[in-house]
C-alpha cells in the first residue's frame, strides 16, 4: 500500500443559489472546510428561481461573509458563479466532492435523486451530505426574504453584511 502524497488537494464544491447566504449556509461552509482542503462555494446563476440579488451581488455577499468569518474558513474557501451543469463545473474546478446540506427529511428526497443523477453523470465525484446544525435546521433563504419583507427581524439568520444589504434592497423595492 502506498502512502498518498500530502500535496494532493481535495477540492469540494458547495453549490447553491445563496439568495441570500444565511447562517445555515455559513455553518455548512465551516463544517465542509473540515473535510476538504479547498472549498469552492458555487453560486448558481439560476435565473429561473427569480433571485432577489443578481449573481455578482450574491457572490460578493458570500465573499464578505467569508472574510468576516476569517481564519481557515476564509483562507480555504473561494466563491465562483456558475451556470453550467454542476458536474461540468466540478470537473472544470478539479473537484472530487459535492457538499450538500440537509435541513429536514423533506430535503432528502430531492437531494437523494440529484445525487443519484450526478453519480451517473460523473461517478468519480462523490456527494457528501452534512446535516444542518440544530440551530439552523429551519433557516432558509426563502423564509429569510419573506420574514424581512413583512418587517420581521432576521438578524440571527444572516451574516451582518447580508442583513444590511437585505434592508437596503427592500427599501429600494419600496421606492
* Active site members: 25, 49, 103, 141
Question: Is 49 flagged in the annotation as binding?
Answer: yes
C-alpha cell at 112: 437523494
Question: Is 144 flagged in the annotation as binding?
Answer: no
For residue 48, what are the contacts with CB-CB under 8 A and spacing of at least 6? none
Question: Is 86 flagged in the annotation as binding?
Answer: yes
Question: Is 141 flagged in the annotation as binding?
Answer: yes
Question: Is 149 flagged in the annotation as binding?
Answer: no
Question: Is 105 flagged in the annotation as binding?
Answer: no
Among the listed residues 37, 14, 34, the one whose alpha carbon sits nearest the alpha carbon of residue 102: 14
What distance separates the 2 farthest-apart alpha carbons in the chain? 66
Q: How far is the C-alpha of 27 from the C-alpha of 33, rounded, in Å?
A: 10
Question: Is 167 flagged in the annotation as binding?
Answer: no
Question: Is 18 flagged in the annotation as binding?
Answer: yes
Question: Is 100 flagged in the annotation as binding?
Answer: yes
Q: How far is the C-alpha of 38 from the C-alpha of 41, rounded, in Å?
A: 10
Contact 82, 89 (CB under 8 A): yes
What is the separation of C-alpha 19 from the centre of its chain, rounded to a whole number of angstroms?
Answer: 10
Q: Which residue has the cell 451530505?
A: 129
Residues placed in the known binding site for substrate: 17, 49, 86, 100
Residues placed in the known binding site: 17-18, 25, 49, 86, 100-103, 111, 136-142
Residues placed in the known binding site for ATP: 17-18, 25, 101-103, 111, 136-142
Amino acid at each position: 500500500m502506498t502512502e498518498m502524497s500530502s500535496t494532493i488537494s481535495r477540492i469540494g464544491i458547495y453549490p447553491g443559489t445563496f439568495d441570500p447566504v444565511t447562517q445555515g449556509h455559513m455553518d455548512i461552509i465551516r463544517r465542509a472546510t473540515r473535510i476538504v482542503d479547498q472549498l469552492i462555494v458555487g453560486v448558481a446563476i439560476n435565473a429561473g428561481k427569480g433571485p432577489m440579488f443578481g449573481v455578482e451581488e450574491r457572490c460578493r455577499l458570500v465573499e464578505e461573509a467569508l472574510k468576516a468569518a476569517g481564519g481557515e474558513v476564509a483562507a480555504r474557501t473561494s466563491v465562483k458563479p456558475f451556470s453550467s451543469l454542476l458536474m461540468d463545473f466540478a470537473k472544470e474546478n478539479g473537484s472530487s466532492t459535492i457538499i450538500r446540506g440537509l435541513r429536514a427529511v423533506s430535503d432528502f428526497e430531492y437531494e437523494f435523486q440529484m445525487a443519484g443523477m450526478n453519480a451517473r453523470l460523473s461517478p468519480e465525484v462523490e456527494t457528501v451530505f452534512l446535516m444542518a446544525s440544530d440551530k439552523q435546521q429551519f433557516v432558509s433563504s426563502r423564509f429569510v426574504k419573506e420574514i424581512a419583507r413583512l418587517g420581521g427581524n432576521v438578524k440571527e439568520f444572516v451574516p451582518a453584511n447580508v442583513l444590511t444589504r437585505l434592508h437596503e434592497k427592500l427599501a429600494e423595492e419600496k421606492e
